[in-house]
Amino acid sequence: MYPRSFHYHRAGSLEEAVSMLGQLGEGAKFLAGGQSLIPLLKLRFANPEHLVDLNFIPGTSFIKEDSGALHFGAMTRHAEIEHSALARKIPVLHDCAAGIADVQVRNRGTIGGSLAEADPSGDWTNALITLDTIVHCLGPSGARTIQLRDFIKDAYTTALAHDELVTEVEVKIPPQGSGGAYLAFKRSAPVYPSASAAVQLTLAGDVCQDAAIALGCVGLTAIRATEAETALRGNSLSDKTIATAAEAARAAADPQTDMRGSAEYKRQLVVALVKRAIQIAVRRARGEQVEGAHLYA
């Protein structure tokens, strides 16, 4: 199916893009990587009267380190993060970027567009919510920053106003002795995961000082498994402790039966994914170079 007709506008700057959307009204949308919007246009689930293209705005795609944080321009492609040496400083980010869909999608999709879409089956929110992440935004009233936990309001709903856009994603680099991992289970590379798990740990010797565990595709938004985190903090990470945390993550999941599996099947996946992600995160926190890869049916 072809999209309905629309007017195409090419923004030359972020400020111009914001101004355009304000002038064009509720019938206008921003176009970033288009990996979510274009399929919706083709299915006619989205029917904007105007599209404001952000792809030709200079200086919106970058990865840099500054003041103890990594900064990603909103138009930075998943593939750029996948191949970035800087991004590998936070392994959970590399895992996430490298596992998104297939090469074609990774070459077009953007981190800013993914967060702004707030698709509950997406990858970036689930990975980033385990870290200290700030979303930089720009609107008619100027720039503002929003903690990621406050940015995502619901499925497909963010704190962005209609004529506001994401300009940058800032992620604080975890302290020494930290490690993370992001794993997803899929039927095949191009499809959304049946379930995913992100883990970020900080160790002091064999004891877990801090932990963050997030679950994806098993709720309307990414779920922080707080009871699972509590099961790890202050404890040695034995097989028993990890199993206890995985069971607590299972209890936190709120999946729905769909074409990707039954609710019970997804809960079982959560247990397996959380266990494996913790094990990888522990080894990375100890300085090992461990590759993390998505799992396929």
Confidence band of 189 (pLDDT split at 50, 70, 90):
confident
Domains of the chain: 7-53 (3.30.43.10), 63-172 (3.30.465.10), 178-289 (3.30.390.50)
Q: Once rounded to an integer, what is the mean pLDDT over residues 108-137?
A: 96
Determine the Cα–Cα distance for residues 39 and 62; give it in Å rounded to an integer. Answer: 26
Q: 89-119 burial string, b = 16+ CB within 10 Å, else e?
A: ebbbbbbbbbbbbeeebbebbbbbbbbbbbb
Q: 240-249 burial string, b = 16+ CB within 10 Å, else e?
A: eebebbbbbb
What was the pLDDT predicted at 89?
96
Determine the Cα–Cα distance for residues 242 and 234; give it in Å rounded to an integer. Answer: 13
Cα 190 → chain centroid: 16
Residue 56 has pLDDT above 90, yes or no: yes
Tell the burial category of 8 from Cβ atoms under 10 Å away from its Cβ (0-12, 13-18, 19+). exposed
DSSP β-bridge partners for residue 200 = 180, 212
Beta carbons within 8 Å of 102's beta carbon, 6+ residues apart: 189, 190
Residue 197, both tokens: 């798990």
Percentage of the chain beyond pLDDT 70 is 100
Q: Once rounded to an integer, what is the mean pLDDT over residues 69-87?
A: 98
Confidence band of 65 (pLDDT split at 50, 70, 90):
very high
Mean pLDDT taken over the chain = 95
Q: How far is CA 42 from CA 5, 6, 37, 39, 48, in A?
A: 11, 12, 9, 5, 12
pLDDT tens digits, one per residue of 199-251: 999 999 989 999 999 999 999 999 999 999 999 999 999 999 999 999 999 99
* DSSP secondary structure code for residue 186 in this structure: E
What pTM does this model have?
A: 0.94
What was the pLDDT predicted at 118?
95
Q: Are 109 and 35 in contact (CB under 8 A)?
A: yes
What was the pLDDT predicted at 141?
95
Determine the Cα–Cα distance for residues 27 and 175; give it in Å rounded to an integer. Answer: 45
Which 3 state secondary structure label does DSSP give 123?
Answer: coil
Confidence band of 117 (pLDDT split at 50, 70, 90):
very high
Nearest one of 53, 77, 45, 74 to 160, comparing CA atoms? 74
